[in-house]
Structure 1
Amino acid sequence: MTTSFKSWKNGILALAGCLCAIQPVSAQQALNSVEVLVNDEPITSFDIDQRLRLVIAISGGIRTEEEFLRVREQVIRSMVDEKLEIQEAKQFELEISDAELESYFARRSQGMGQTPEQFEQALANIGSSKKTMMEQMEAEIVWSRLVQGRMGAFVSVSDEEVEASIKRIYDNKGKFELRLAEIVLLVDSPEQEASVKATAEELVSRIRGGASFPEIAQQLSASSSAAVGGDLGWLTADDMDRNQAAAIENVGVGEVADPVRTAGGYLILALRDRRRVLTADPLDAQVSLRQIGLSQEKLADADAVARFELIANNLHKEATSCGAVSRYVDESGADMPPEVGLLRIRDIQPEVRGEVEKLEIGQATTLQKMSDGWRVLILCDSREPEVEEPQFDAIYDQIEQQRLSMMARRYLRDIRRKSIIDYR
Structure 2
Amino acid sequence: MRFRSSPLSTLCALALALAAVLPVFGSAAAQDILRIAAIVNDEVISAQDLDQRLDLAIAATGQPNNPELRRRLRDQVLRNLIDERLQMQEAGRMKIAATPEELDQAIRQLERQNNIPEGKFEEVVTRQGASIQALNQQLRAEIAWSKVIRRRVLPSIVITDEEVDLAIQQLKRDVGGTESLLAEILLLVDNPDQEEEARRNAVNIIEQLRSGAAFPAMARQFSNGSTATAGGDLGWVRAGTLPEEVERVVAKLSPGQISEPIRSTTGFHIVLVRERRQIRLGNPADATVAMKQITFPITPNTSRAEADATLSVARAVFDSVTGCDDLTRVARELQLKGGATDIPRQKVGDMPPRVRPIAADLEIGKLSPPVPSESGLSMYMVCERKETSQEPDRDRMRERLASARIEQGARRLLRDLRRDSVVEFR
TM-score norm. by structure 1 comes to 0.66
Q: Which amino acid aligns with 1:103?
A: Q
Which one of 254, 257, 266 corresponds to residue 255 of structure 1?
257
1:199-239 Cα offsets, whole Å, 9 max, x none, are 32232232233211111111111111212111112211121
> In the aligned structure 1, how far is the partner of 2:419 from the partner of 2:140?
22
C-alpha contact (below 8 Å) 2:63/2:213 kept by paired residues: no
Distance in 2 separating the partners of 1:108 and 1:388: 36
2-structure distance, mates of 1:387, 1:73:
52
Please give the residue correspondences for 1:39-118 in structure 2 after superposition, counting only pairs within 5 Å: 39-61=41-63, 68-118=70-120
Q: Distance in 2 between matches of 1:129 and 1:283?
A: 45
Cα distance between partner residues in 2 of 1:223 and 1:123: 24
Distance of aligned partners of 1:389 and 1:115 in 2 relative to their CA distance in 1, 3 Å threshold:
farther
Q: Match for residue 242 of structure 1?
A: 244
1:278 touches 1:389 (CA, 8 Å); kept in 2? no
* C-alpha displacement of 1:388: 7.6
* 1:4 matched residue in structure 2: none
**AA matched with 1:204:** I
1:179 is aligned with what amino acid?
A: L
Amino acid at match of 1:99: E
Alpha-carbon spacing, 1:406–1:176, altered in 2? closer, same or farther (3 Å) = same
Aligned pair count reads: 317
**For the Cα contact (< 8 Å) 2:125–2:131, is it kept in 1?**
yes
Among 175, 178, 186, the residue aligned to 2:177 = 175
- Tell me which residue corresponds to 1:148: 150
Q: 1:62 to 1:68 in 2, by over 3 A?
A: farther
Q: CA, structure 1 residues 167+189, in 2 after alignment: closer, same or farther (shift >3 Å)?
A: closer
Contact preservation (8 Å) 1:185, 1:200: yes
Partner of 2:413: 411
Instruction: State the match for 1:163 in structure 2.
Output: 165
> Distance between the aligned counterparts of 2:398 and 2:173, measured in 1?
18
Aligned position for 2:39: 37
Counterpart-to-counterpart distance in 2, 1:165 and 1:117: 44
Q: Is contact 1:38-1:419 (8 Å) kept?
A: yes
Equivalent residue for 1:308? none
Do the aligned residues in 2 keep the contact of 1:247 with 1:269 (CA within 8 Å)?
no
- In the TM superposition, residue 28 of structure 1 has moved relative to its aligned partner by 2.9
Give per-residue Cα distances to partners, 1:321-344, cap 9 Å, x unaligned: xxxxxxxxxxxxxxxxxxxx9998
CA gap 1:205/1:70 in 2 versus in 1, 3 angstroms: closer
Q: Distance in 2 between matches of 1:107 and 1:386?
A: 36
Decide whether aligned partners of structure 1 residues 90 and 209 sit closer, same or farther in structure 2, where only a CA change above 3 A counts. Answer: same
AA in 2 matched with 1:157 = I
Taking a change above 3 Å as real, the CA distance of residues 390 and 359 of structure 1, as seen in their structure-2 partners, is farther
* Contact 2:62 2:214 (8 Å CA) reproduced: no
2:211 to 209, 212, 217: 209
> Which range moved further: 211-220 or 225-234?
225-234
Q: Judging changes above 3 Å, is the alpha-carbon distance between structure 1 residues 187 and 27 closer, same or farther for their aligned structure 2 residues?
A: farther
After TM superposition, give the deviation of residue 149 of structure 1 in Å.
1.7
Match of 2:223 in 1: 221
Aligned partner of 1:272: which letter?
R
Q: Could you tell me which residue of structure 1 aligns to residue 399 of structure 2? A: 397
* d(CA) in 2 for partners of 1:36, 1:84: 12
- From the superposition, tell whether residues 192 and 406 of structure 1 become closer, same or farther in structure 2 (CA, over 3 Å): closer
Secondary structure of the 1:32 match is helix
The question of whether the paired residues in 2 share the 8 Å contact of 1:62 and 1:68 is answered with no
Cα distance, 1:198–1:412 mapped onto 2, change above 3 Å: closer
Aligned with 1:55: secondary structure? helix
Deviates more, 1:133-142 or 1:57-66: 57-66
Structure 1 residue aligned with 2:271, among 269, 289, 301? 269
Measure the CA separation in 2 of the matches of 1:386 and 1:215. 38
How far apart, CA to CA, are the structure 1 residues paired with 2:212 and 2:416?
Answer: 36
- The answer to whether the 8 A contact 1:247-1:259 is kept is no
> Hey, what's the Cα distance between the residues in 2 that align with 1:124 and 1:284?
47
Identity of aligned residues (%): 33
Shift of 1:87: 1.5
Q: CA deviation at 1:159?
A: 0.4
The 1:157–1:390 alpha-carbon spacing in structure 2 relative to 1, beyond 3 Å, is same
Contact kept, 8 Å, 2:190 with 2:415, in 1: the verdict is no
Within the candidate set 411, 415, 423, 1:421 is matched to 423
Q: Deviations over 1:150-190 (max 9, x none)?
A: 22121121101101111111111110011211111234565
Deviations 1:257-288 (A, max 9, x none): 11112234321001122111116797999xxx
Distance 2:195 2:124 in 1: 35
Residues 50-92 of structure 1, C-alpha deviations (whole Å, 9 max, x = no match): 1101222334436985653231111011111111112111212
Larger radius of gyration: 2
Equivalent residues in 2 for 1:304-319, closer than 5 Å: none
CA gap 1:103/1:279 in 2 versus in 1, 3 angstroms: closer
SS in 1 for 2:184: strand
- Per the alignment, do residues 195 and 68 of structure 1 end up closer, same or farther by CA in structure 2, a change over 3 Å counting? farther
Return the letter of the residue paired with 1:412: L
Q: What runs of 5+ residues in structure 2 fail to find an aligned partner?
A: 1-26, 288-352, 359-368, 377-386
- Structure 1 residue 37, shift from structure 2 partner: 2.3
CA distance in structure 1 between the aligned counterparts of 2:279 and 2:179, rounded to whole angstroms: 6
